[in-house]
Amino acid sequence: MATGITQRNIQRLRIVGKNLRDILLYSDSYLFELFVGALHFFILPLAILEIGWLLDVQILGVLIGGFQLYSVGMKDMKCRYYACLAAFILAMITVVHYALVGMMAGSQLGWALVTLMAFINLYRTFNEKLHRGVSKSI
């Protein structure tokens, strides 16, 4: 009896894992893109002040975050792809800056999560672009 319950639980966990994987990899990424764009546009310029006045990162945050919000609003697949690429690069730059000054701990680990979300967005938009056949020249 216990083996049957365990087997059923393992099977359910596999189904849940597969469904979550499918949602993360293949569902539409508009919400994640809006979230990452808003974080870069509104939060990053202020949060990076704890390291110092890094005007290059602050200006890039506003520009790339704004570009990502614009891209999602326009629903332009090619534009969204490039915005996701830029957001992923900016998220990596942010994590590197925090790591270089030894502040990659506690709440700053949230920027590592933003980097992961930006990578997932990039992966999704790339696959969506391929699926739609938007452009062959990337």
Q: How far apart are CA 120 and CA 67, in angstroms?
A: 18
Helices (H) and strands (E) in the chain, counts: 6, 0
Q: Give this prediction's pTM.
A: 0.82
pLDDT value at 93 more than 80: yes
The label of the residue with tokens 């830029």 reads: 86
Q: How far apart are CA 134 and CA 138, in angstroms?
A: 10
Per-domain boundaries in the chain: 28-132
Q: What pLDDT score was predicted for residue 111?
A: 95
Q: What pLDDT score was predicted for residue 2?
A: 59
Q: What pLDDT score was predicted for residue 94?
A: 96
Q: What pLDDT score was predicted for residue 134?
A: 67
pLDDT value at 95 more than 60: yes
pLDDT tens readout for residues 98-128: 999 999 888 889 999 999 999 999 999 998 8
pLDDT tens readout for residues 13-70: 899 888 888 777 667 778 899 999 999 999 999 999 999 899 999 999 999 999 999 9
